[in-house]
Amino acid sequence: MKKILVIEDNPMVIKSLEFKLTKDGHEVLIAKDGREAMKFLKEANFDLILTDLMLPFVTGIELISYIKKNSPNTPIIVLSTSTQENIIMDAFNMGVDDFITKPFSPNELSLRVKRFLNKA
């Protein structure tokens, strides 16, 4: 079973991601803010990370920087909104692998997650 860390602060998005990813057979851990995410990242390794960019306490960009430094082979998918083009570009320049626009299409999420987990 692959282990996925979801870093997201909107409870409805969290619930939908948790439902879909668990149903697809993955182990899902949820961090509701950047601080909680840092704690998980220090305690465990993940096969994939899905992260929002605008997070309380520690920003998504800071998290990506930390992950790239400490776990450079872990793929990262950014959960974005349509108004974040500049921040998404910054994230890509830092080495994130993909992005999904919220609210996401269930099938698109499954396919993209599967693609990165198969590579791992």
CB of 15 to another protein, least distance (A): 6
| Of 22, 45, 81, 120, the one binding another protein by CB under 8 A | 81
Q: CB nearer to another protein: give 60 or 75.
A: 60
Using CA atoms, how far residue 25 sits from 54, 57, 64, in Å, is 28, 31, 25
Total residues contacting another protein by CB under 8 A comes to 16
Instruction: Enumerate residues 87-106 that contact another protein by CB under 8 A.
Output: 102-103, 106
Which residue has tokens 């992005």?
99
Give the closest residue to 26 by CA, choosing from 46, 7, 53.
Answer: 46
CB of 90 to another protein, least distance (A): 16
Q: CB nearer to another protein: give 43 or 85.
A: 85
The stretch near another protein (CB under 8 A) out of 17-25, 35-43, 61-69, 70-78 is: 17-25
Give the closest residue to 99 by CA, choosing from 29, 33, 49, 57.
Answer: 49
Is residue 22 a contact point for another protein (CB under 8 A)?
no
Give the closest residue to 47 by CA, choosing from 16, 25, 79, 19.
Answer: 25
Amino acid in the structure at residue 90: D
Is residue 32 a contact point for another protein (CB under 8 A)?
no
